[in-house]
Amino acid sequence: MTSDSAFKAILLEETDGKVSATVSELGNDRLPAGDVTVRVAYSTLNYKDGMILNGLGRLVRQYPHVPGIDLAGTVESSESDAFKPGDQVVCTGWRVGEVHWGGYAQRARLKSEWLVPLPEGLDLKRAMAIGTAGFTAMQCILALEQHGLEPGEQGEVLVTGAAGGVGSVAVAILGKLGYKVVASTGRQQLGDYLKSLGASSIVDRKELSEPQKRPLLSERWAAAVDTVGSTTLANTLAGMRYGRSVAACGLAGGNDLPTTVLPFILRGVNLLGIDSVMCPMPLRREIWSRLARDLPTDKLDEATSVIPLADVVEAGGRILKGEVQGRVVVDVNG
């Protein structure tokens, strides 16, 4: 921490429509409104952070802005009965880092209703190794379970964009739960990494991303977590077994969906849309407690790298090119 009255942060500014990012020292008087002030220990890098750091998608409407959609740290001061100084807390979602100043800062001021107490069994760093990406992976798996995916399922469970943040965590959890996980990746050199996380086999992402002439493919997948969207999601839907479900959370391959109604009306396939941002608090707590229980920490550590605040901007460019592997934790004091 720079001092009690000042803190280091990544500040995004916009000039003539161009967004630039610098590590800056800010006074506490610049902090936004909120009833809890947190000394941030760690944040993370997600695909959305890459977009925000590069001014894409009009996710941020007001500059100057402090990005970082996740944060974990210790409560410094609180006007809320729910939290007291010294409590360790985690924040993901609620458009923090987009509409509200986020976690790429040594200090953050937030609304208490956005915070969850650090889940038992996790430390601040591991909670951020999970972050929005890992949270979303678990949310996808819970949705699949609510639609019939059960331990003991012998069929193949597909994860697309498997070497990325959401994908890596999904592979690790599904592997631990005993499913036969097929990891789709464009990086064949990461095949051994994905198998060590929990994948049974690897499929080249081209097999799923090439447009197909037939609207239905042979019935292969017992369930799927899709982080890619577009033709990959369309082909996944076309290759589902009867009555099975796809949890769709991402658009790394595009936000279109070139499919037909046939997977839905001839195979009873369910398309489950997953949004972690506005996920209601009871479900949010359930997801965190399942993460603390079901995510193998050794695999999580294997999938995690740590970077200092100063390296975030460069890493934000790499995640947009699909070059980041697993989860990236940001040590905001590093």
Binding site for ligand NDP (CB under 6 A): 46-48, 132-133, 136, 161-167, 185-187, 205, 209, 227-228, 232, 249-253, 274-277, 319, 322, 324
Nearest distance, CB of residue 206 and ligand NDP, angstroms? 9
User: What's 305's DSSP letter?
Assistant: E
Nearest distance, CB of residue 51 and ligand NDP, angstroms? 7
Phi, psi angles (nearest 5°) of residue 330: -105, 120
Question: Cβ closer to ligand NDP: 36 or 68?
Answer: 68
Nearest distance, CB of residue 128 and ligand NDP, angstroms? 13
Phi, psi angles (nearest 5°) of residue 144: -65, -40
Nearest distance, CB of residue 270 and ligand NDP, angstroms? 17
Phi, psi angles (nearest 5°) of residue 81: -70, -20
**Beta bridge pairs of residue 13:** 20
Question: Cβ closer to ligand NDP: 189 or 218?
Answer: 189
Question: Cβ closer to ligand NDP: 106 or 322?
Answer: 322
As a dihedral over the C-alpha atoms of residue 205, residue 210, residue 214, residue 219, rounded to 10 degrees, the angle is: 0
Nearest distance, CB of residue 271 and ligand NDP, angstroms? 13
Give 16: exposed, middle or buried? Use CB within 10 Å, 0-12, 13-18, 19+: exposed
Q: In which order are the strands placed within the sheet that holds 221-226?
A: 199-204, 180-185, 156-159, 221-226, 240-248, 270-273
Question: Cβ closer to ligand NDP: 126 or 205?
Answer: 205
Question: Cβ closer to ligand NDP: 88 or 139?
Answer: 139
What is the C-alpha separation between 12 and 326, in angstroms, rounded?
25
3-state class (DSSP) for residue 176: helix
What is the C-alpha separation between 324 and 175, in angstroms, rounded?
21
Nearest distance, CB of residue 108 and ligand NDP, angstroms? 20
Nearest distance, CB of residue 266 and ligand NDP, angstroms? 26
Question: Cβ closer to ligand NDP: 37 or 209?
Answer: 209
Question: Cβ closer to ligand NDP: 90 or 162?
Answer: 162
280: cis peptide before it, omega within 30°? no
* Residue pair 52/92 in contact by the 8 Å Cβ criterion: no
Position with the least CB separation from ligand NDP: 164
